[in-house]
Structure 1
Amino acid sequence: MKKPSIRPVMTAAAAAACLLPMALQAQTTLQAPAWRLGESTAQPAGQSMAVPMGQSMAVPMVVPMSPAQSISQPYSPVSSSPDQREGLQFRAMAGIEHDDNILRTNGGEISDTITGLGLGLRYQKRVSRQQFVVDAELNNYNFDDIGTDYNTLNYSAAWLWQAGERLEGIASADRRQFRDVTSNGAIAGVNRRTERNELFEAGYKLGASWRVLGGLQHSATRSGDPNSWDGSLSQNSVRFGAAYEPATGSSVALRFRRGEGEFDNAPVASDFDDNEIEATVRWIVSPKTRVDARLAHLDREHSAAPARDFSGVVGSLGVNWDITAKTSLTGGYVRDLGSYVFGTGGHLSSDRWYVGPVWRATELITVNLRYEHETRRWEDVTGTTDAGRRDKFDVGALGVDWAIRRSITLGAQYRHERRSSSLPAFNYRANVIGLTAKLTI
């Protein structure tokens, strides 16, 4: 007997989301928070500084990124987090980077200079109880020596809605494109990765502190690197749960997620089902300190390839500490599990931790430091040379931002990357120096 599918539910919910603006008479962007509306219960953010996506009744939420995003990118990602400025904003960016190992190879390194140009716009508007935010950016990258040019389109849009005094929610759509440099090994090529996430989630207040939650989500990834983390898959998920948030601002929640996924352009891998139960906590230690934690159990079953099944604990722990008026610190730990599409079985696991101090030297100058370490394992892998493979990534970065005018910001960054693998062909070191300029009007 054919198993029931959640796709009809997703289709019906998408149609309902399109009709909600008329129903409500509406007019025309670390780590995981607790019950926050819009928080993804898919595997948590690969980059520990998750991207803020919006607020509902002054409660923030984030959209996660895969472990592939943990390597720094030239420009900050788009964000649909509401800010103080409404209306339409335009921005233009220009940047240049020199990379002494552009292909991330072990031996025969090629240095290259990459120039980037970007245009973006942002629109934010509050109408009665509805909040709309759209942020989009188009970038072009040009490589002087290897002759590779490509464009990226990133967007983040959120509708934070409220109907009556008890029902609130969010509908959002996000797209991230970036250079995927975590698993190239000795392959001479520049890979790109695209991650999409569409979400509709609602919360109903049972009282001053209790809520019930329900939502639908579609996520998809595409990468030019076939060995990339959870590359070339798409998934639909249904989730529901309950949350408690007292007046202190701290919160705790329990959620269950059921997902159905499939791999594209990977005939050796089968469709899969996810069952995940998670507990999330946000603890407001003090006005200057916040702790976010997530603990979950993920069970992934592949319909026609049980050797690819896996289950285990995933989660994250993040701390944000405003030490003084000029200094702050973020740090944390993230545990992920993901599918492996080659060979005859196995999966991937990732453990990473990070620390990032920030010093606001003056009102105009900010200095950022960041160090991130990741250990990635190819577990129970059979049928390929990746069997038993273990990679260690170390990324350190120093950045300085200077707001020379209210609308003009200059930035400089140095970044060092290193991978040490049990397969020596995948070892590499890279040093990157970059300069950027940004105009916002």
Structure 2
Amino acid sequence: MLNSRVRPLALLICSAFAAIPAVPAGAGPNDALHVYGGVAYGHDDNLLRVPEDQPAFDNTRGDSWWTREAGLIFDKTYSRQRITLVAKLSKTSFDHFKQLDYDGKDLQANWNWQLGNHLEGKIGTSLEQVLAPYTDFASTERNLRRTRSSYAEGAWRFHSAWRVRAGFQRDKYSYEALSNRYNNRTEDASELELDYLARSGSTVGLVARHVKGKYPVPRPVGPFAFNDNFTQDELKARVRWLATGSTTLDALVGYTRRNQPSFGEGRTSGFAGKINATYQPRGKMTYTAAVWRDFAPLESTVVSYTQNTGASVGAQWDATAKISVNADATYERRNYNPRRDFAGSDNLRDAIRTTSLRATWHPRPLLQVQGGVAHQSRSGSVVLGTGSFKSNSVTLTANAQF
């Protein structure tokens, strides 16, 4: 039994070191084009997030998987124009729930442009195909999520201390599972921002944002079908404060108003935002912390959205020039807004806790080996039918660029 558990780690380490001699002498970290290859092993003792008081699918809660990935990475700066391209394909195979086997995709194209000393921006597009999480999806059906994103933004520094920025982004989500097709949607977000740039490097800005969501497939509810289209307007302050040489504070906070009238009034508004803090004293430690409160859509016939309030803390220890260790903990409470009043609708909430620990080793600049463990738990909602679950997982990865 011990040998079977050690075998994945041994295979990964052997694969990593077998790749080292194949690196061409001229392939260095500063080269524009790299060939990418990686292999990963993982095990989760509750892969499908089955509640503790419910029987497991196929009498099996845990499962293991292998992922093999290959692709190309291009990163080149031409004068003031930077072009980055990523094309990665992967294949993931599960030991027990073989119907979940899938081919993953990660395609990206980005252009960071600059004209003169006052105009700059970004244009890009991406396509990602992964297995959607089963946290709120009770099924053994394979549910691939394909995300297509396109964005464009530009900034004009019309004064040494002032900058105006405008941007647009379209995100399109599509799901493979027939039982989840009504969650397909397109979100269009447009932004306009005015920033004050202090000499210290800190910035203060005001951001106006409008989001429009469209659901092409109506949601079936008994004999009826409803459309979950929504609009969301935000007015927030963006602050990047370089408090000291070792402390940085990033904040995006303000007012959000959301309208999703598929059931009932469907309107909500209030304070929302996120604050991140980074503390990096002299030495080998870096500390991070964050708090947030936001509104998020939820694909459900019972509730229309959630109000998420959370906090996270993390630390990174750079043990040596080649080894780093990261520890993170996250807590998020989700308060659900019912589409209509019913018995128990005034007590719709749950919470998700996640902790993780991982170590990363860079034996060479373009070679990385990483191992990690994670624990996740949810306190469920009896009214919503989301039970409490616990999950423990381990992952081992090795990847290299040539």
| TM-score with structure 1 setting the length | 0.74
In the alignment, which residue of structure 2 is the partner of 1:12? none
SS of residue matched to 2:164: strand
SS of residue matched to 2:201: coil
Matched, 1:187 2:132: no
In the alignment, which residue of structure 2 is the partner of 1:102? 47
Matched, 1:421 2:380: yes
In the alignment, which residue of structure 1 is the partner of 2:272? 314
In the alignment, which residue of structure 1 is the partner of 2:369? 410
- Contact 1:93/1:118 (8 A) holds in 2: yes
Q: Give the Cα–Cα distance (whole angstroms) in 2 for the partners of residues 289 and 156 of structure 1.
A: 32
Q: Give the Cα–Cα distance (whole angstroms) in 2 for the partners of residues 310 and 86 of structure 1.
A: 50
Q: Give the Cα–Cα distance (whole angstroms) in 2 for the partners of residues 206 and 264 of structure 1.
A: 41
Q: Give the Cα–Cα distance (whole angstroms) in 2 for the partners of residues 392 and 269 of structure 1.
A: 28
List aligned pairs for 1:43-82, cutoff 5 A: none
Matched, 1:437 2:365: no
In the alignment, which residue of structure 2 is the partner of 1:40? none
Query: CA 1:111 to 1:272, structure 2 compared with 1: closer, same or farther past 3 Å?
Result: closer
1:265 alignment partner, one of 194, 198, 217: 217
SS of residue matched to 1:307: coil
AA in 2 matched with 1:195: T
Query: CA 1:350 to 1:177, structure 2 compared with 1: closer, same or farther past 3 Å?
Result: farther
In the alignment, which residue of structure 1 is the partner of 2:95? 144
List aligned pairs for 1:227-306, cutoff 5 A: 231-267=183-219, 268-302=226-260
1:221 alignment partner, one of 146, 166, 173: 173
For residues 34-65 of structure 1, the C-alpha deviation after alignment (integer angstroms, 9 at most, x for no partner) is xxxxxxxxxxxxxxxxxxxxxxxxxxxxxxxx
Query: CA 1:421 to 1:270, structure 2 compared with 1: closer, same or farther past 3 Å?
Result: closer
AA in 2 matched with 1:126: T
AA in 2 matched with 1:155: L
Q: Give the Cα–Cα distance (whole angstroms) in 1 for the partners of residues 386 and 167 of structure 2.
A: 44
Q: Give the Cα–Cα distance (whole angstroms) in 1 for the partners of residues 195 and 380 of structure 2.
A: 42
SS of residue matched to 2:88: strand
In the alignment, which residue of structure 2 is the partner of 1:135? 86
SS of residue matched to 1:265: coil
For residues 101-152 of structure 1, the C-alpha deviation after alignment (integer angstroms, 9 at most, x for no partner) is 1111024252211100111321111112211112232221111101121122
Q: Percent identity?
A: 24
Deviation at 1:265, TM superposition (A): 2.3
In the alignment, which residue of structure 1 is the partner of 2:14? none
In the alignment, which residue of structure 2 is the partner of 1:29? none
- Contact 2:236/2:253 (8 A) holds in 1: yes
| TM-score with structure 2 setting the length | 0.81
Higher-Rg structure is: 2
- Contact 2:234/2:254 (8 A) holds in 1: yes
Deviation at 1:155, TM superposition (A): 2.9
Q: Give the Cα–Cα distance (whole angstroms) in 1 for the partners of residues 246 and 36 of structure 2.
A: 32
Matched, 1:207 2:159: yes
For residues 274-318 of structure 1, the C-alpha deviation after alignment (integer angstroms, 9 at most, x for no partner) is 221111000011232211001132222246655222222221010
Query: CA 1:117 to 1:344, structure 2 compared with 1: closer, same or farther past 3 Å?
Result: closer
Deviation at 1:231, TM superposition (A): 4.5
SS of residue matched to 2:243: strand
In the alignment, which residue of structure 1 is the partner of 2:105? 153
AA in 1 matched with 2:235: I
1:370 alignment partner, one of 322, 325, 328: 328
SS of residue matched to 2:159: coil
Q: Give the Cα–Cα distance (whole angstroms) in 2 for the partners of residues 177 and 324 of structure 1.
A: 40
Deviation at 1:157, TM superposition (A): 2.6
Q: Give the Cα–Cα distance (whole angstroms) in 2 for the partners of residues 383 and 269 of structure 1.
A: 19
AA in 2 matched with 1:422: S
AA in 2 matched with 1:271: N
In the alignment, which residue of structure 2 is the partner of 1:43? none
2:71 alignment partner, one of 110, 117, 120: 120
